[in-house]
Structure formats: structure tokens, C-alpha cells
Amino acid sequence: MNKSGISTVTQFVLLGFPGPWKMQIIFFSMILLIYILTLTGNIAIICAVRWHHQLHTPMYVFLANFSFLEIWYVTCTVPNMLVNFLSKTKTISFSGCFTQFYFFFSLGTTECFFLCVMAYDRYLAICRPLHYPTIMTGKLCAILVSLCWLTGFLGYSVPILFISQLPYCGPNIIDHFLCDVDPLMALSCASSPIIEHVFHSVSSLIIILTILYILGSYTLVLRAVFRVPSSAGRRKAFSTCGSHLVVVSLFYGTIMVMYVSPTSGNSVTMHKIITLIYSVVTPVLNPLIYSLRNRDMKFALRQVLCAMRIMQTS
């Protein structure tokens, strides 16, 4: 990836969470369990949406794509993290580091756009229910899904390409469990404040614009909900939005601390913990949040589990 000929670094060392061997085994077991639960929960949601015809609606199509995204979001970092817990060298190749860097930020950006699209879907369903079937058609749903993936993977391609072309001549130790922008920029032999400024500006712009859009959508939703005369209708409206709002709060609450608010005063350990929350912990909670508060999803998941049991016994 770096063809300048200046760099002498061919691999990086990810320190992760240093500690004695027993502590590494504990970390490995915990992260492995979270990873398995994340894959199981999100795959179950995808299967439920795919096999249950009542869930073939835009709301659940977005949710299935969101679950598919979460699977790859954790997979781009967790397997390497698990290997490093049991490894003495804890190395990652230069190209592997920047590949992880690219996918981690691209998938995170795609998640921001999906949360926006899901907020737009809830806005149409609650604020314009009579027009919802004619506006949120299958074609528009497919276009929105495609735009989320496309813009998410294009947003950071140029900044990350420029960062990968910087000279890295040592040291090569990253005090983190993944390849993040600040540790990589600190290891570069050449000062490049413009590239770093552009990267953080893009991050801040994406985060602030998407969260403002989501908050604006739900402001209109809440106004419409409070106008509903019956308490049963208000509860139903809140139940369809509550899960999404919880997920938005968990995800944006942590990434805004990392990439929007000043973090220079925070310790490296705090940076790791915050990153661990939104990159590993939040994806395992999302299937629980969406399934526990949704009757149709719980019914579909029970059918999926019953079908799996029948297949195992046959």
C-alpha cells in the first residue's frame, strides 16, 4: 500500500490490553463470547427477516442490512484482537493494518447512514402514515440501502489512502487494539497536519450531520406522537421508535467522545475502553434491543429457533 520507498516499517505491533498471561486468557474468553453472541444474534435477525414474510417490509429490510453490517463491523477487528491476546508478537502487517483501518471507518460510517435511513423510515411511518406505502416503496428502499453502503465506503477512501502513503520509519508500536487514525499519525516520520485535519473534519462532519438529522426526525416524530389521542396509540408509536433511539444513543454517545469532542486529556486506556464499547459491546446489544422490544421480531425469532431444532433432530 505504501509505495513511496521511504518507509522501513513492514508491520505494526498492536499492544492491545497488556497484562499477565492469565489476564490475557480472561480477555480472550470474554471477547470471544461477545463475538459469538454478536454473530448469533445478528444472523438470527437476518434469518428471521429472510424467512418470515410478515417482516418483508422496509423497516425490517433496513434492520437486516444493519445486522449484516454489524457482523462485518466486529469481524474486521475482533478476530485479530483474539489472536493478539494469545500471541507474544502481536503484530499486524502494514497492508493488513491499513485494510483494517479502512474497513473499520467505512463500516462505522455506513452504520451512521443506516441509522439516518431508519430514522427517516420511522418518520414516514408515524408522521405520514397514509403516504408511507407510496413513498417508501421497494425501489426506494433498495436505493437507500445501496446509497448507505456506497457513501459509507467512499467517504474515507481518499484520506486513508493519503495516510497510508506517509513515511513510517519507526517505531512501529501502536498502543491500541486496532489501527486507528491518531496512533498511526503519531508514528509517521513526516508531520502532516493537513491530512490529519481533513480526516478529523470528515469524521466530525459525518457524525454531526447524521446525528442532527436523526434528532430532527425524532423531534417531528415526538410531536406527532403526542398528538395521538389514545394512550395505546402513543405506546405503539413509542415502541417502534424506542429500540432505534437506544441504539443511536449507545453508538453516537461513544463515537462523539472519540472523534468530535476534545480527547487529548483522556488517557490511552480510556480511548481503548471507549473504542471497545462502540466497536465490540454495542453490536452485541443491538440484536437484544431490537428483538426484546418488538413482538413481530420475537415471534419470527421463535420460528427460526424452532426450525433450527427440527433440522437438528431430523
What are the structural domains, with CATH classification, of the chain?
11-313 (1.20.1070.10)
CB 82 within 8 A of CB 31: yes
Q: How far apart are the first and last CA of the chain?
A: 50
For the record, the C-alpha cell of 228 comes out as 395521538
Strands 11-14 and 173-174: parallel
Whole-number pLDDT of residue 132: 93
H or E element, residue 32: helix 21-51
| DSSP symbol at 266 | S
Q: Determine phi and psi for 260, rounding to 5 degrees.
A: -120, -50
Closest C-alpha among 133, 97, 47 to residue 306 = 47
Instruction: State the cell numbers at 58.
Output: 422496509
Question: How much is the pLDDT for 2?
Answer: 46
pLDDT at 131: 92
Dig out the grid coordinates for 222 from the structure.
Answer: 415526538
pLDDT at site 74: 96
Task: Tell me the pLDDT of the chain (314 aa) as tens digits.
Answer: 444 445 478 899 999 998 899 999 999 999 999 999 999 989 988 988 888 888 889 989 999 999 999 999 999 999 999 999 999 889 999 999 999 999 999 999 999 999 999 999 989 988 898 999 999 999 999 999 999 999 999 989 999 999 999 999 878 999 999 999 988 998 998 878 888 888 988 888 999 999 999 999 988 988 888 777 777 666 766 666 777 788 888 888 888 877 666 554 557 888 898 899 989 999 998 888 877 667 777 777 777 677 666 666 65
DSSP code of 54?
Answer: G
DSSP at 6: -
The strand ranges marked E within 70-216 are 91-93, 173-174
Amino acid at 290: Y
Cα–Cα distance, 229 to 233 (Å, whole number): 8
Which H helix or E strand runs over 11?
strand 11-14
